[in-house]
């Protein structure tokens, strides 16, 4: 369980990406029935820490808090620190990995983690503009420039700007469950379900009208998860050919219709496991998996735990209303 969170800032940090970590883990949400984290902002040299936008923030705490934190977040750093990482920070990152704490980076913060040597042999990402540089500097890291974020064990790296928020919500979903995370996302007015495998950017954005045309179809999919939904059927509802529908769906939502549908079914199963006492066979039917065995297979593939283990952890943990 994550109790203490330490966000590391260094000279030249990016305020927006740093703010994402503060927004995700630092706000008091007890009024919404969501437990708070013991949130700390730390730096190798406490005092005034300059940003890359000409202003500074005052940091009161050194790295000692991060040495025992359950989650250590690496904020973006300037290029000078890519080539010459602060060994004090690297030691904190190595210690976090050694004690099996969570480590998360936003944008070029991935270079902070890479500089500590803990990403060798792992998969990771960073902003697509910096991915080639990371791959060049660290050939032992499998750098994926086409995704929003990557989780490898308890290390999460994310792409640029808002993708860091997706990574934070991804971790919050594992820690707090989908219901609480959906409430947090709604307060932020951001989507709660962007998967890490989505592309970082779209070369040719589809027209707004095409995007709007898919909304009734996705809404209908969510209302009919138990049905056997095919691309031909969905394309007909969208008044498109199957090929055009599949192409536009992938461009707009970042995944194939089948992959998106599968993820929504898992999310619905999470909600039913948390909020009901239905048996696994009934949940499998409600979600469109057909059988408990297929439910379990998909649940483990997406979340890394069995439905039974998930229910044991989250069922009745919070008295929250259904997501809307």
Q: Tens-of-pLDDT digits for all 324 residues of the chain?
A: 999 999 999 999 999 999 999 999 999 999 989 999 999 999 999 999 999 999 999 999 999 999 999 999 999 999 999 999 999 999 999 999 999 999 999 999 999 999 999 999 999 999 989 999 999 999 999 999 888 899 999 999 999 878 899 899 989 988 888 778 878 887 887 765 565 655 554 333 333 344 456 888 888 998 899 999 999 999 999 999 999 999 988 887 777 899 889 988 988 898 898 888 999 999 999 999 999 999 999 988 877 778 998 888 766 544 333 332
What are the sequence ranges of the domains in the chain?
4-188, 208-254, 259-314
**DSSP strand pairing (4-8 vs 71-74):** parallel
DSSP 245-279: HHHHHHHHHSS-HHHHHHHHHHHHHHHHHHH----
pLDDT at 209: 40
Token digits of residue 229: 């939904």
Confidence at residue 250, expressed as pLDDT on a 0 to 100 scale? 84
**Half-sphere exposure at residue 239, Cβ-oriented, CA atoms within 13 angstroms:** 5
What does the pLDDT read at residue 200?
A: 57
User: CATH assignment of 259-314, given 1.10.10.60, 3.50.50.60, 1.10.3720.10, 1.20.1250.20?
Assistant: 1.10.10.60
The four Cα atoms 29, 31, 34, 38 give a dihedral, to 10 degrees, of 50
The verdict on domain 4-188 having CATH code 3.40.640.10 is no
């Amino acid at each position: 369980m994550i109790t203490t969170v330490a966000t590391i800032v260094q000279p030249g940090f990016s305020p927006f990406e740093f703010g994402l970590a503060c927004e995700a883990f630092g706000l008091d949400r007890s009024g919404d029935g969501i437990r708070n984290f013991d949130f700390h902002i730390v730096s190798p040299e406490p005092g005034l820490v300059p940003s890359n936008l000409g202003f500074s923030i005052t940091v009161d705490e050194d790295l000692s808090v991060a040495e025992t934190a359950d989650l250590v977040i690496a904020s973006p750093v300037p290029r000078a620190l890519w080539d010459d990482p602060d060994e004090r920070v690297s030691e904190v990152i190595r210690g976090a990995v050694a004690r099996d704490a969570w480590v998360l980076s936003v944008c070029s913060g991935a270079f902070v983690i890479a500089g500590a040597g803990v990403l060798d042999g792992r998969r990771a990402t960073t902003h697509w503009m910096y991915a080639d540089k990371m791959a060049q500097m660290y050939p032992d890291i499998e750098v994926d420039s086409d995704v929003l974020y990557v989780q490898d064990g308890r290390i999460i790296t994310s792409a640029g700007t808002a993708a860091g928020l997706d990574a934070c919500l991804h971790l919050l979903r594992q820690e707090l469950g989908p219901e609480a995370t959906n409430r947090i996302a709604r307060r932020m007015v951001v989507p709660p379900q962007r998967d890490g495998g989505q592309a970082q950017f779209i070369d040719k954005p589809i027209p707004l009208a095409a995007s709007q045309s898919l909304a009734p179809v996705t809404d209908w999919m969510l209302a009919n998860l138990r049905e056997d939904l095919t691309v031909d059927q969905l394309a007909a509802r969208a008044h498109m050919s199957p090929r055009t529908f599949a192409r536009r769906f992938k461009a707009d939502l970042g995944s194939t219709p089948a992959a998106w549908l599968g993820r929504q079914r898992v999310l619905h199963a999470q909600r039913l496991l948390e909020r009901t006492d239905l048996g696994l066979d009934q949940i499998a039917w409600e979600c469109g998996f057909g059988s408990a065995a297929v439910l379990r297979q998909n649940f483990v593939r997406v979340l890394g735990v069995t439905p039974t283990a998930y229910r044991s952890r989250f069922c009745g943990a919070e008295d929250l209303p259904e997501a809307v």
